[in-house]
């Protein structure tokens, strides 16, 4: 095969040079998508990072803290009594429960027990996460601004309720660049086995105004993990190789006539595409995993596209240098029928979430991998709709909820922040979404105020004009 760079060495721009050598050097921090002159080099960390990669286990819909990580015995004691006005303090409610005549408190249907060295209370619904508690940093004092799903999840994933801003993973990709030019920098995995109550949106992993190569690439369950990855049936591997050879020759000749370095960049992209046709299926194929993997993550992990399978896949991608993997598991929106709904959600996600932490640790990856678990908001202490002896629901509640972090640079076995006895307001250690983003960026080696991109005459950042690093979460 003829390399156009040999044919026309004059065109060796800086980028083309890097693009060429990065193939040999591998570790050279090149984005997987070289690009033309418009492409921006990675910002590089501002200081020594603790985390080199992130896996975000996004629990879409808003998991209830009351049945997971933030026990409130008072709600059981006062089950059925009205939420005191002094607690609500005039805060807005959604239009779904805002018109209810009564706001009866609802105690959790499930029990809690102490776990780990710290003796932290965890719900019986999460037996596996309880086992890895000493590696988690539980934040009970998250709060956000939006009260409906679409704006809230958009806010959580991009730092703004307004569409069009880059997502967390896109910022990470922009800042860090790629560790493996044969794979995307930012991969999105949507659970196939989830209840599809609240939908997801492409903007949640979009690049916004950042260059498009930072966009999250959704991997699909099944044999073709990336859209249009597979050759058509009638084109065999040798023919595809011949196509690439022909393209390189066409581009070499075109370059000799046009002298445009963008031709070199485009050739590199085609070469990368060619390699992705083998690197991506290799990464996504769980059949090579030993039985011990499925013992750890659960048998559900054998079902492609399940949350558990996606956790295994996430680990494989992280191992191979993908910078940011974001899982989305829908189905946490329990306005009614909460006991049944949340039991199902926990059964689908508990074992694999814990297994991922354990697995990363066993492989030595947890030291420089940040794991985050959580949803877009919490749920109300009071019941939405009718409170019956066996059933209740909870409306959206942005004023407090729980997320957990684990891994690189995170204070393990720690519980941060607290909510009041009703689980209605944060009373200690409030962590805003911008604060969490600032902390995540800090762990990745970035000053969140300096990781910016100029757009419409303004320097934008993930944390908008706010956010502070929560030092208490750091080891």
Partner 1 sequence: MLRALTTSLALVALAAAQAPTRHWSFTPPQRVASEVDDDAWCRDDLDRCVLAELERRGEHPSPEAAPEVLLRRLHLVLTGLGPSPGDVAAFVAEPSDAAYRQTVDRLLASDACAEHRAVAWLDLARFADTYGYQSDYTCRTWPWRDWLLRALHRDLPWPRFVEQVVAGDLLADAGEPGAGGGDDARIATAFWRLHRQTNEGGSIDEEWRHEYVADRVDTFGQAFLGLTLGCARCHDHKSDPIRQRDFYATGSFFAVDEAGLTPYSTGGTPQPAMRLGDAAAQRELQRLAAAEADAERALAAALRVADSTPVHELAAPAPVAQHGRFVGDGDRRVGIDKPPTPTRADPYSLRFVVTAPTDAIERAVLVHTSNYTEDADTQGFQVLLKHDRLCWEVVHHWPGSAIAVATRTSLPGGRAVQVVVTYDGSSRAAGLAIWLDGERADVAVVRDELRGPATVRRLELGGRDRDRGFAGTIDEFAMFDRELDGAEIATLCRRAATDDERRDHARRHAPAVAAARDALRQARRAHQQALEQLPELMVMAAHPHPAQRFVLRRGAYDQPDTKQPVDADVPAAVLPFDASWPRDRRGLARWLNAPEQPLAARVVVDRLWAQCFGEGLIPTPNDLGRAGEAPLHQHALDLLACDLQRSGSTREILRRIVCSATFRQASTTTAERHAADPHNRLLARGPSFRLSAEALRDHALLAAGLLRRTVGGPSCRPWQPPGLWRDSGAAWGGGDYQPDGPAGAHRRSLYTFVKRTAPPPDMVVFDAQSRETCLVRRQPTDTPLQALTIWNDPVFGECAEALARRAELELPQRGLASHVDFVFGWLCGRAPRDAERDALLALCAQAADERQGLALCASTLLGSDAVMVVR
Check if the beta carbon of residue 345 is closer than 8 Å to that of residue 373. Answer: no
Q: How far is the CB of 166 from partner 1 (least distance, A)?
A: 12
Interactions with partner 1, residue window 140-159 (CB under 8 A)? 147-150
Quote the DSSP letter at residue 194.
S
Check if the beta carbon of residue 206 is closer than 8 Å to that of residue 70. Answer: no
Tell me: does residue 229 bind partner 1 (CB under 8 A): yes
Check if the beta carbon of residue 67 is closer than 8 Å to that of residue 402. Answer: no
Q: Which of 427, 471, 352 is nearest to 140 (CA)?
A: 427
Q: How many CA atoms lie within 13 A of 346 on its CB side?
A: 23
Q: What gap in Å lies between CA 282 and CA 260, rounded to an integer? A: 35
Residue by residue, DSSP assigns 361-387 as HHTT-GGGEEEEEE-S-EE-SBPSS--
Tell me: does residue 265 bind partner 1 (CB under 8 A): yes
Contact segment (CB under 8 A) with partner 1 among 10-18, 47-55, 70-78, 467-475 equals 10-18
Contacting partner 1 (CB under 8 A), which of 45, 127, 134, 277? 277
Interactions with partner 1, residue window 68-87 (CB under 8 A)? none
Contacting partner 1 (CB under 8 A), which of 84, 89, 259, 337? 259
Q: What gap in Å lies between CA 231 and CA 276, rounded to an integer? A: 12
Q: What gap in Å lies between CA 346 and CA 425, rounded to an integer? A: 25
Check if the beta carbon of residue 185 is closer than 8 Å to that of residue 324. Answer: yes
Give the residue with the Cβ less far from partner 1, 46 or 220. 220
Interactions with partner 1, residue window 96-125 (CB under 8 A)? 96-102
Interactions with partner 1, residue window 446-465 (CB under 8 A)? 455-458
Q: How far is the CB of 234 from partner 1 (least distance, A)?
A: 7
Contacting partner 1 (CB under 8 A), which of 110, 274, 368, 472? 274
Residue 334 CB neighbour total at 10 angstroms: 26
Give the residue with the Cβ less far from partner 1, 39 or 74. 39
Phi-psi region of 119 (alpha: psi -120 to 50; beta: other; left: phi over 0): left
Size of the site for partner 1 (CB under 8 A): 96
Q: Which of 416, 52, 36, 61 is nearest to 260 (CA)?
A: 36
Q: How far is the CB of 100 from partner 1 (least distance, A)?
A: 7
Helix ranges restricted to H, 259-397: 262-284, 291-297, 307-319, 338-362
Q: Which of 394, 461, 387, 400 is nearest to 428 (CA)?
A: 400
Query: 438: part of which helix (H) or strand (E)?
Result: helix 433-443
Tell me: does residue 257 bind partner 1 (CB under 8 A): yes
Interactions with partner 1, residue window 176-195 (CB under 8 A)? 190, 192, 194
Tell me: does residue 266 bind partner 1 (CB under 8 A): yes
Contacting partner 1 (CB under 8 A), which of 50, 72, 78, 251? 251
Contacting partner 1 (CB under 8 A), which of 62, 221, 321, 398? 221
Contact segment (CB under 8 A) with partner 1 among 119-127, 134-142, 200-208, 349-357 equals 200-208
Give the residue with the Cβ less far from partner 1, 35 or 417. 35
Tell me: does residue 249 bind partner 1 (CB under 8 A): yes
Tell me: does residue 232 bind partner 1 (CB under 8 A): yes
Q: How far is the CB of 223 from partner 1 (least distance, A)?
A: 12
Interactions with partner 1, residue window 383-412 (CB under 8 A)? 395-396
Quote the DSSP letter at residue 221.
S
Q: How far is the CB of 227 from partner 1 (least distance, A)?
A: 5
Interactions with partner 1, residue window 157-176 (CB under 8 A)? 162-164
Give the residue with the Cβ less far from partner 1, 232 or 364. 232
Whole-angstrom CA distances from 451 to 29, 32, 266 are: 17, 20, 28
Q: How far is the CB of 185 from partner 1 (least distance, A)?
A: 11
Q: How far is the CB of 207 from partner 1 (least distance, A)?
A: 9
Contacting partner 1 (CB under 8 A), which of 253, 368, 447, 449? 253
Tell me: does residue 243 bind partner 1 (CB under 8 A): yes
Contacting partner 1 (CB under 8 A), which of 77, 84, 91, 246? 246
Q: How far is the CB of 202 from partner 1 (least distance, A)?
A: 6
Check if the beta carbon of residue 462 is closer than 8 Å to that of residue 210. Answer: no
Q: How far is the CB of 253 from partner 1 (least distance, A)?
A: 4
Q: Which of 165, 138, 169 is nearest to 55 (CA)?
A: 169
Interactions with partner 1, residue window 328-347 (CB under 8 A)? 328, 330
Q: What gap in Å lies between CA 302 and CA 293, rounded to an integer? A: 10
Q: What gap in Å lies between CA 116 and CA 76, rounded to an integer? A: 24
Contacts of 265 (CB under 8 A, 6+ apart): 15, 16, 19, 34, 35, 36, 39
Contacting partner 1 (CB under 8 A), which of 5, 35, 351, 470? 35
Interactions with partner 1, residue window 348-377 (CB under 8 A)? none
Residue 332 CB neighbour total at 10 angstroms: 25
């Amino acid at each position: 095969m003829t390399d156009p760079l040999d044919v026309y060495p004059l065109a060796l721009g800086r980028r083309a040079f890097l693009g060429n050598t990065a193939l040999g050097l591998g570790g050279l921090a090149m984005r997987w998508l070289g690009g033309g002159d418009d492409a921006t080099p990675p910002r590089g960390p501002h200081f020594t990072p603790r985390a080199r990669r992130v896996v975000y286990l996004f629990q879409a819909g808003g998991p209830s803290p009351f049945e997971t990580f933030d026990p409130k015995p008072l709600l059981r004691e006062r089950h059925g009594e009205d939420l005191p006005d002094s607690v609500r303090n005039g805060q807005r409610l959604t239009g779904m429960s805002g018109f209810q005549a009564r706001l009866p408190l609802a105690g959790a249907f499930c029990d809690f027990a102490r776990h780990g060295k710290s003796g932290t209370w965890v719900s019986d619904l999460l037996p596996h996460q309880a086992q890895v508690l000493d590696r988690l940093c539980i934040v009970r004092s998250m709060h956000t601004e939006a009260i409906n799903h679409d704006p809230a999840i958009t806010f959580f994933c991009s730092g703004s309720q307004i569409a069009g801003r880059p997502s967390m993973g896109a910022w990470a990709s922009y800042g860090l660049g790629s560790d493996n030019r044969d794979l995307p920098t930012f991969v999105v995995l949507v659970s196939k086995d989830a209840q599809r109550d609240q939908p997801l949106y492409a903007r949640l992993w979009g690049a916004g105004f950042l260059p498009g190569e930072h966009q999250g690439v959704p991997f699909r369950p099944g044999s073709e993990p990336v859209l249009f990855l597979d050759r058509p049936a009638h084109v065999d591997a040798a023919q595809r190789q011949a196509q690439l050879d022909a393209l390189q020759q066409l581009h070499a000749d075109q370059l000799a006539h046009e002298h445009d370095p963008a031709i070199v960049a485009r050739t590199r992209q085609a070469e990368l595409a060619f390699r992705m046709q083998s690197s991506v299926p290799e990464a996504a194929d769980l059949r090579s995993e030993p039985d011990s993997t499925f013992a750890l993550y659960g048998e559900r992990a054998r079902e492609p596209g399940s949350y558990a399978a996606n956790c295994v896949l996430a680990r494989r991608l992280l191992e191979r240098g993908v910078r940011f993997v974001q899982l989305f598991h829908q189905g946490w929106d329990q306005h009614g029928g909460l006991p049944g709904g949340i039991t199902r959600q926990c059964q689908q996600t508990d074992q694999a979430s814990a297994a991922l932490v354990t697995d990363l640790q066993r492989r030595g990856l947890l030291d420089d991998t940040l794991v985050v678990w959580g949803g877009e908001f919490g749920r109300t202490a009071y019941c939405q709709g009718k409170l019956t002896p066996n059933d209740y629901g909870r409306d959206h509640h942005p004023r407090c909820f729980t997320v957990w972090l684990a891994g690189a640079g995170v204070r393990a076995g720690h519980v941060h922040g607290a909510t009041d006895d009703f689980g209605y307001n944060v009373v200690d250690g409030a962590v805003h979404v911008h604060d969490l983003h600032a902390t995540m960026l800090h762990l990745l080696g970035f000053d969140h105020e300096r990781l910016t991109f100029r757009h419409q005459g303004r320097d934008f950042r993930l944390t908008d004009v706010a956010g502070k690093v929560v030092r208490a979460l750091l080891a």
